[in-house]
Every structure is written in structure tokens, then in C-alpha cells.
Structure 1
């Protein structure tokens, strides 16, 4: 567990853990970025053409897309052509130095490339291998291609998103990818803990579809217990009619989550409707749900009397959780003002600079951030340095470059 980069994070619970990242696009890179934020050394092994997310339009900083830049910070990039036998040998050498390997190839592709997880783990039982795929390493759909919207569709998530009677909608964030990435991190961390105790690693099989099914939460249990088909709720809740959004008098929306008796009383008193507290139609949560149409009319009309921000202030003062519906820029501005390190400015030696969303993991007593972070690597930026650390001679590296097996970053100094 050697971390030899001079730019390695100085702090973080995973300092000393090396992660070899064969992933592209989003689910895997999101997972390895979390591990990097926690202090691990992440070596991103890319094909000569690079991670496909580097070229996603429409926004670019230099040669790299904003999409790529959003989830690849604090990594090192090495370019290796796995279609060449010598490239596979380089990858296998790197695997011998890794604590964790994470890949999101289609099932069977790693083995066809000469990187069979079972074989490599037999050679090094302590190796932890995390495979992220659409439908898992086994099962009837394992060979089907999958992207975020496909697993949102198959999981039932899209059937719950949108307005009743309207089109099914994907979530506004790529939850299929992000949830799979987070479960990949959970698996890697659990395996590291077990390895510290028992000395052996594991091979984790993470399915994007499984991740989305796990997020169905109580909706899945509603379906199995009550035999119902849950429907879209738009911005409402199918169990709590005072857990929803409202339009205010200034044309802005606010979210209200009055889900206890105390909050219910605080809500209607703040709205100037104290008589509803003891109204027999609305006394209990079950009463309010049974008479939700009448209740909605009364509440919606009351909210039109004042601007949304005023209602939010009054409700919060009354102990009722409420918030304005913010745009993404507004939310980012709030995060900057909060000073929790959630807006992370990064720059590189080529003059590129970005702001990205930081790690939500904060350590009490260690400041707002979770450790050192640096700008996402340019393609092949660390090829020479990583191979040198691996023990390859200058002559061997030069020969690999001439043969097109590895590619150095053009004009980039090693970290």
C-alpha cells in the first residue's frame, strides 16, 4: 500500500490505499473520485482515445468536457493500450501494486482483455476487485447494454417520477450511475475493513439496476404489502398531504414538510388557519390523507397571500421545515456562502480553472474540506511518472511509447 506521488493527499482515512481505475463515463469515475476524496491514490488507466466522457458536449475547458471534469479530480492518468499484449502486461504489473481495482466493463470484457478477476485474485488473494455494470455479472440481462435512463426505466423509478397522468420522467440527476458508484465505494470500504481483519479481499458485483431497486425504499414495500402499483406523485407525497410544494403570491414555489402533529399545527397557525387544527376532517394524519383534496384547496389558497421567502421565514420560525425551490446556480451560491467547502475551486498549470462540487464528507476538527484535491488530470498526464514508480527503466518506457503501448501526456510535466 505505497502512495509515492509527491502530490498525494497528506490526510484522509484512505491514505496509503492505491486504487487502479479502469472505469469510464460516470458510475465508476464517481466511485473512484469519492475514494480519492477520502485520501486514496487513484490511478486512472485510460485507452489511447481517453475516457469517453472527455468529449461530451456542449461545455469544455481546454480539451476536456465539463462532464469529465465534474467527477475526475484528484486522480492520476496513465494511457495504456489494452488491445496490445504488452499493454495488458503493463496493466497486470499495475494491478500487483493496487489494493483495489474498480472497473465498469461489460461482464466478461475484462477476462477477454486478459485481466480475468478470478485469476488475478487467485494470484493475489488480498486484492479487492469491484465490478460495476448495468445488470451484474450474472443473470438473464448481464450482456445487455445499460445507461442511467435504462435502469431508471426498468427499476420503476421513472414510473414514480413526473405528474399523474403525464409522461414518465427520468430524474434530473443521473441516479442510476451515481447510486451504483456509491455502492461500489461501500463495497470497497467494507472489503478493506475485512481484509485488515482476515487478510483476504473480495470481488464485488455491483449492478446499476440493483442500486435503483434498492432506492425504491418504502414504495417497494407498499407494492408488496398492499398489492398496489405506486404512481407518480409530482411534488407531493402519497402518505403525507402536508409534505409537498406550494406556489406563493410572488410566483415562486416553496417546499413544506409538515409531517408531524406539531408541524401540522405550526403550519396552519402560520397560515392564519388555526381553526383547522381541531377540524374533524384534519385532526390526524389519516384524516388529512382521507380529505386531502379539501385540505389542498385551503392551503393552496392561503399560500397565495404572501411571497414565498416570507412564508419560508415564518414557517421555519414556527418549527416547520420549509425551503424555497432553488435553481442550481442559487443552490451553488448558497453553498459558497455556507463555507463548508462544498464549492471547490481547482486549477492546473496550463491556466485552466473550474469550480466543482466538493466532498460531502467532513471531518470534525479537520476544517471544512476532506483532504487535498487537484484538477482532473489531462489524458496521460502521469504515464511516465507512474511507470517509473513501477520500476520501469527510461529505455523501457521509451520503447513502450514508440510501440504505442503507452502514451505520455503531451508537454505535461510529471506530478
Structure 2
């Protein structure tokens, strides 16, 4: 069987981004086959190399500087160190841009223009260039110049307003999600916009400028709950672990563990009442609509369900719910996720060779795009060491060993 051709094979991406959101977008393009060249500051590198709680141990005492943040967002990239504030560094970047398809950056608004590395300057070199800027608040507006990180936009965009324990209960109030979800979604929006721009260029021959903002993504992420507010003018209450659609939908407690239940349709609810040997609840006026089951009388109903589920062990409750065709899933701690048989079947842990890691490999999270039948996303390279590919990339641009050595001595690379 022939090896599937990558969707973005032949596409070159210059990744001048740092930390998380924009690097995630560049990584998605790399997973789809693009040649992603990550441009990092000499001796310092991507700020994300220092973020997170854990680092990949290096062999022979080497500091990989592969933090969890960096490792999860920088595979399938080659790293070149480059000081773009120096004229020699700017010249190298322009050489890279000549044959590039995409440039991604997340510097402050107007920052790269000081060095002649803004879109208007670089499109003069390469009219087909797709130039994507990722910032907190966007390129225009009264807050455009301000820096911004994920938590700010969970607060500003409405995500925290609808996340957390319901009012009136202990610990109620706004709550940030555990992962940096605004960053993560913004990274995906970055990749989507670039893919759209590549398709547009295929049809028209035109490059374009893309303005991606964490703020925009954060507001869009509130999705149907925000739409509910736009329709009604009323802010829906926080529901804790409750579902946002049909009910009952929430965590239920068993004798030895927790399950998430979503009996989200009238038929699912009817089946659940039969399973609990309480069929009369199906016609009970307290619970005879999704609104009542999921919102107004939710707490009363969940107490009834938990009284039933608490009599049985988790595996038995799960088996009963599965047998009745009622959607439910066991709650997993992080360690449990990787023992889940469906997770294992889907191959979601991607053990990848890593020449500088103590173990010789690193466990990565597989791309959700890996199941495309003709052009699946793949992991071809572990995240790069700082400047690991500097010499090779400069050689591709025509620099000889003496020139590279001089650039290194001058701290340009």
C-alpha cells in the first residue's frame, strides 16, 4: 500500500509565533504535511519553552526545554534561531519569505513593521504570501495595543460568566476552565483561516492578510449560550456540571465512582424511568419537559437519580445505561483516560521518537485529524530543540559554513 500524500505537502510555513495559540495553528498545518519553520530568538527561544509543570527529561543531562506547553504545540516543526532586530536577521527572514506560502506571527500590533517585516513589506517580495497575525484584541480598536492571555479572554468574552457552580451553592461564581481553551480554539481558527486563504489563492493567485484575535474566538466559543442571550436578553444561569441541552444531564454518583449521564431526549428520559423502576416519573408534571428536567427542577431530579445510582457499582450502572441505549460515560481521571479501551483503540497516545529525550521517545497526543482516509494528519517529528535546524535551513537558502559561522559569532543566529 502506498503512503498517503499529506494534504499540505509542498506548503512552507514561517512560524514566528510564541507561547500557545498561534503555535497550535502552525502545528495543525505541520500535522497536515506543511514544512513549518519555527523562528526563535537566539539563546531564549519561544517563551512557551518555560511554561507548564513538566519538562521532557533529556539524555546525558541535556536540558531539552520541552515544557508541556511547548511539547503539545510544536511537533512537526524545524527550529531556526534568528535575531530579527538585526539587519542580517531581517535579510534571512526575507530570503525565507521569498519561497514561503504562509507566515504566522503573534507580536504586538505594529511591532514587526519597525523591522520591515509587516505584511505590506513582505507582500512586495512575495505577492502570494498569506500573512496571519494572531493577537489578543485584534489589529484595530481601542484595546488593540494591549497584551492578552487566555484567562483574560475567558473573563472578557463570557466563558467564565457561564462556567462554574450554580448561584446559591457553596463555591458558586465564575470559574476558568482547566486547559487554555481560548488559546486552543484560537489556534484552530488560525489554521482554518489559513486553509481558507490557501484555497482562495489556488483559485485567484492572491495572497492575503489574516487578523485573528483571541477576543473574537472567546466570544464565539460561548456559542449557543451566548446565542440564547442574544435571542432572549436574559443570561442563562451557571449549571455547574449540568448539560446545556436536554435533561437530565449531569454527573451521577455510583457506589464506587462517577458517571456522566445525558438522557437528553424524551425517549431517553422514558427509558431511564423504566430502568430506575419509577415509570411514573415520565408523566410527573415536575419533569414532563426538557426545560423542567434540565433547568427549573434539575436539582430535585438529580437527587432522585443519584439515590438510584448510588445503590450500584459504576460498572453495573454503566452496563445498565448502555443496555437501555441511554448515553453515559465513566468519569476518568487523567491516568484513567489512557486506560480507556476506546482511547487505546483510537490510538490517541502517539509515542514519537525523540533523539534528545532520556527515553529516546516522547508520548504526544494524536491529532484528531489522523483518521482522514486519503490525507491523514501525521506526526513526523518530535518538537525541535532550540535552533536544531538552523544550519540546515540556512544551507537551503544558500549560506555556506563560513557565512553561518559568522552569523553565529555575531549572534544573529
Provide TM-score, normalisation by structure 1: 0.90
2:393 to 386, 393, 408: 386
| Rounded Cα–Cα distance in structure 2 between residues aligned with 1:10 and 1:292 | 50
**Map of 1:230 onto structure 2:** 236
**1:272-311 pair list within 5 angstroms:** 272-288=277-293, 289-311=295-317
State whether structure 2 residue 363 is matched by structure 1 residue 355: yes
Contact preservation (8 Å) 1:335, 1:342: no
- Return 5+ residue gaps in structure 2 as ranges: none
How many residue pairs were aligned?
396
1:50 to 29, 45, 48: 45
- Return 5+ residue gaps in structure 1 as ranges: 1-8, 407-415
Contact preservation (8 Å) 1:23, 1:29: yes
Map Cα deviations across residues 131-156 of structure 1 (whole Å, 9 max, x no partner).
Answer: 11101011111111101100111011
Contact preservation (8 Å) 1:129, 1:203: yes
**Map of 1:201 onto structure 2:** 207
2:406 to 389, 394, 399: 399
Shift of residue 25, structure 1, vs aligned partner: 0.6
Shift of residue 98, structure 1, vs aligned partner: 0.8
Contact preservation (8 Å) 1:176, 1:208: yes
**Map of 2:18 onto structure 1:** 24
Look up the SS of the partner of 1:228 in the other structure.
coil
**Map of 2:114 onto structure 1:** 112
| Rounded Cα–Cα distance in structure 2 between residues aligned with 1:235 and 1:178 | 21
| Rounded Cα–Cα distance in structure 2 between residues aligned with 1:14 and 1:381 | 23
Look up the SS of the partner of 2:230 in the other structure.
helix
**1:309-348 pair list within 5 angstroms:** 309-334=315-340, 338-348=344-354
The change in CA–CA distance for 1:77 and 1:335 in structure 2 (over 3 A counts) is farther
Contact preservation (8 Å) 1:11, 1:372: no
| Rounded Cα–Cα distance in structure 1 between residues aligned with 2:86 and 2:252 | 59
Shift of residue 403, structure 1, vs aligned partner: 1.2
Shift of residue 10, structure 1, vs aligned partner: 7.4
Computed over aligned residues only, the root mean square deviation of the Cα atoms, in angstroms, reads 2.0
1:87 to 76, 86, 89: 89
**Map of 2:163 onto structure 1:** 161
| Rounded Cα–Cα distance in structure 2 between residues aligned with 1:91 and 1:226 | 51
| Rounded Cα–Cα distance in structure 2 between residues aligned with 1:58 and 1:295 | 40
| Rounded Cα–Cα distance in structure 2 between residues aligned with 1:236 and 1:10 | 42
The change in CA–CA distance for 1:365 and 1:120 in structure 2 (over 3 A counts) is closer
2:55 to 35, 57, 60: 60
**Map of 2:276 onto structure 1:** 271
The change in CA–CA distance for 1:343 and 1:336 in structure 2 (over 3 A counts) is farther
